[in-house]
Amino acid sequence: MKDNKCRVLAGLGMLIFAGAALAKTQQPNILWIITDDHRPDSIQAYNRATTGKSESALGYVSSPNIDKLASEGVLFTRAYNQSPACGPSRTSMHLGKYPFRTGKYAWEQVHQDTDFATPAVSQSLRDAGYSTAIIGKTHHAIRETFTGKSTIFDLEIEFNRDLYRQGFGGFYQTGAYGLIDGLLLRRDSKETVYYPDGRKKTYVLSKQDRLLTAAEQAVVDDVEQEFDILRAYTRINKGLILGGVNPQPADKTVDARIVDEYQNYLQNAGKTYKTLAGRKVQGADEDKPVFVNLGFHLPHTPVMPPKEFREQFADKKYKVPAFDSEELATFTPQQMQIYNESKTDAMKPEHKQQAIRDYYAFTAFGDSLIGEAVEDFKAYSKQQGRDYLIVFTVGDHGWHLGEQGIMAKFGSWKESLNGAVIVVSSDKKKFPAGKVVDKLVEYVDFAPTLMAAANIDVEDKLYNYLDGVDLDKIANDKTFRRDYILGEMNLVSGHRAYMRTNDFAFSMRTRDKRTVAETPYLNDNITWALNSHVLKADMALYDLRNDPLERNNIAYTLEYMPLANWFRNKLGNIVLGDGRVEMDWSTKNSYNISNFAAGSDDKIIDIPKELVPAKDITNLQRPNW
């Protein structure tokens, strides 16, 4: 009897083992691509899906590889980030949580030694059996511990530390200006040009306490002429490069080197190898599914496409977005701060053309690299005998090319917030080839999408901390409802939150101070934005039904002010009172969570009909304060 029981238990154990092994083989390899400052209208497939034309509203674009990727899966055309700047946007994506629930609103270095900490998506996948790597632009700023250099990935190869600073890539800038207490101030900085023959040239770009000498300026002038560099001469940060030709050929730029590092990681699976800079690392684990976050730097400034791609766009003419003084007159004080830091409407016409032309040439170059990376990933998955999931996030945020008079991000306008997503899977039932979805998508949706693909049950209450939804559900569940998207940031103009629906875009100031949270001032006077004078709330409201380009802020018109105040209460209660975290990141565990309006984030917009003006209303009146 005892022997029979042992045989039964042994058999059950083998079944369990076999079942576990089968579950592992069903976990797909996952590639998550993120570009930087990438407008979705640089992709022809996106333009065809949204306007019926291959060109953007500004003119010619080229994206054959991304178009092919879109044809193989689902294209989500209305994706919105949760913060229009690299750091807070990427942190939000990796954690799957809104900025007001992560406590990161700007450049804070966050850690997980706090009571409210939750896992990043890479940690959840690692726990589910994945080999994890992030290669290229990282910028998630998440440490596992308060002290030390702990990482949330098994392997991290960062483009700045491991490539630029090691002499790989064409053009490296330390930064001409620094943000101090919300003010953009000049500081000492240098630039280095890396030539294809191994030479390099380092020179002074700016000094904090003086102007450049004639000799120093002559060196800068020579480099600018050599590479046709267009700097942002009409704005505060005049060191920013908006156009030019890359010193390196296409296969030696920093983004090409990012792809090299990614290929080396896959090709050296199961081995120890050296990175391009000579650092000894471990390749992908052959016995595990792999999760790679591939982060491109392009088309972020410096906007310098390699020569062969720049030449393809040399004869293109673009329509410059309209902007005028009447539009500027409707800007709120915070919007004016963004404009003053980023304005380019006063640039010469030929320079506007160059900036737009070089930007789209840079995205075309990115298209070629993305195509290469995708094919390598498919080949690796085939070799390993695994299915795959590829998620392409088109820009950690957007980029203005003259809309609102700026060439930048940081705003709560569409060009700063709107991206696109392409999801391609071996399982065509979940993500059918060629499908286009125009439902609202948020960047917090990526974490649950990746986790669900790894057979993690994101519907389990263990994962209630996730603010997003599996994109499979958004694409295929006809009952799914989301009436708005959310976001908040504390950069350039101070704390500002935003909400967008199908018909309206609304934003407001959320805090009466700009400083990073400090003990003991955490969530202090938290209802200020709801109770202050209406002008201090710094509201912006755009009626997308008749102003899709967001050129006329009507929040303070007599006809729309009741609606603006309705949005003020709706958005304010969510971001200020439904789990808002303010954390002093210079400490290990000093934080406050505000819940005075818990449950406000219900995803439903139910505006009283009497507050919505007629769609074709004209001759709006502004109050005489």
DSSP 9: H
Closest CA to 113 of 103, 122, 121: 103
Q: Per residue, what are the HEC states of 300-363?
A: CCCCCCCHHHHHHCCCCCCCCCCCCHHHHHCCCHHHHHHHHHHECCCCCHHHHHHHHHHHHHHH
Average pLDDT over residues 476-490: 96
Whether pLDDT at 621 is above 60: yes
Q: Which residues of 194-213 are buried (b: 16+ CB within 10 A; e: fewer)?
A: beeeeeeeebbbbeeeeeee
Residue 360 clears pLDDT 50, i.e. is over it: yes
Q: Which pLDDT band, with edges at 50, 70 and 90, does 11 fall under? A: very low
CATH for 25-160+252-476?
3.40.720.10
Instruction: Report in angstroms the alpha-carbon separations of 243 from 354, 364, 386, 403.
Output: 6, 14, 42, 17
* Confidence (pTM): 0.94
pLDDT grade for 6, boundaries at 50, 70 and 90: very low
- Give CA angle at 356 (350, 358), nearest 5°: 95
Output the average pLDDT for the chain: 92
CATH 3.40.720.10 placement within the chain: 25-160+252-476
3-class SS of residue 580: strand
Q: What is the mean pLDDT of residues 574-598?
A: 97
Hey, CA dihedral for 549, 555, 559, 564, is it positive or negative?
positive
Handedness of CA 585, 588, 591, 593 (dihedral sign): positive
User: According to the model, what pLDDT value does residue 3 have?
Assistant: 41
**Cβ pair 417, 57 in contact under 8 A:** no
Mean pLDDT of 504-529: 94
Q: What is the 3-state secondary structure (H, E, C) of 35-46?
A: CCCCCHHHCHHH
Integer Cα distance of 571 and 575 in angstroms: 6
Q: What is the pLDDT of residue 19?
A: 37
Specify the pLDDT at position 207: 86
Q: What pLDDT, on a 0 to 100 scale, did the predictor assign at position 177?
A: 53
Cβ-contact 230, 244 below 8 angstroms:
yes
The one-character DSSP state at 252 is G
Q: Give pLDDT, residue 617.
A: 78
| Cα–Cα distance measured from residue 424 to residue 453, given in angstroms and rounded to the nearest whole number | 12
| Cβ-contact 229, 220 below 8 angstroms | no
- CA distances, 189 to each of 186, 209, 233 (Å): 9, 12, 17
What is the pLDDT, as a whole number, of residue 23?
Answer: 41
Tokens 């088109």 belong to 394
**What pLDDT was estimated at residue 185?**
53
What are the tens digits of pLDDT across the range 46-65?
Answer: 999 999 999 999 999 999 99
Q: Which residues share a beta bridge with 157?
A: 135
